[in-house]
A = this chain, B = another copy of it.
Amino acid sequence: MAIPHSPLQNKLLAALPPAEFARLSGDLELVPLALGEVLYEPGGQLQHAVFPTTAIVSLHYVLESGASAEVAGVGNEGVVGIALFMGGDTTPSSAVVQTAGHAYRLPRRLLKQEFDRAGPTLHLLLRYTQALITQTTQTAVCNRHHSVEQQLCRWLLMTLDRIPSGELVMTQELVASMLGVRREGITEAAGNLQRAGLIRYRRGHIAVLRRAGLETRSCECYDAVKKEFSRLLTDVRGRQENLAIAG
């Protein structure tokens, strides 16, 4: 089935006032993002801001030893490339596609232009950036204090919030690299969740059966981040106007 693509599937774009959205919409380019694709390397110059619609991108940090960990994820609620408007142009982390799908991208120059108008777009992007900081902060604390199983639950829930279906397409190996733990640790934790009837998985597919169960076993970090996102990024008015136009 062919689902029609629209930039408004990205909540950040959808939250822009009509005038701002109209200025940008002509230059938004739909791109498919393949699993594992690298949007930018540490220190590399970003050429586009990327607004995911159905894809999920992981902001990932790789240590000299090769060990790594996700510091935040970006789905249809956000944008990849905040360094473009924050002024640093690049970051020490990389951006990797964690769930294949689509995104709209906007040339760097146009994003900066819009940002420099110092209007609603600037304020929206900055609020999103603060939400992203919250997510990173929570990741830091979670890495320190919570168990692998708790973190797996949190991560599944956050991923679930970013996709339409209840099935994630990914191997335990991939999840392990996101959380920065061993693959065996995920096998064990996922096994527990499966035996408890919360999820079911087979070779690269994870189906969530009882979401509430995951919420129970998750650490508080999931809720904390979710609440802060909704506090910072609820912009009912802008969204409704845009949806009216789209309809």
A residues in contact (CB < 8 Å) with B: 59, 61, 63-65, 67-69, 71, 82-83, 85-88, 91-93, 116, 118, 122-123, 126-127, 129-134, 136-141, 143-145, 180, 220, 224, 228, 231-232
Docked-complex contact B141 and A228, CB < 8 angstroms: no
Inter-chain contacts of A68 with B (CB < 8 A): 141
State in angstroms the CA–CA spacing of A86 and B96 once bound together: 26
Copies in the assembly, this chain = 2
Docked-complex contact A220 and B63, CB < 8 angstroms: yes
State in angstroms the CA–CA spacing of A203 and B228 once bound together: 40
State in angstroms the CA–CA spacing of A87 and B64 once bound together: 35
> How many Å from the CB of A123 to the closest CB on chain B?
6
Inter-chain contacts of A86 with B (CB < 8 A): 126-127, 129-130, 133
Docked-complex contact B87 and A123, CB < 8 angstroms: yes
Contacts A71-B137, A118-B116, A140-B69 given; indicate if A130 touches B83 (C-beta within 8 A). yes
Docked-complex contact B228 and A92, CB < 8 angstroms: yes
In the A-B complex, list the 6 residue pairs whose CB atoms are closest, starting with the nearest. Answer: A140-B140, A118-B118, A86-B130, A143-B143, A144-B180, A87-B127
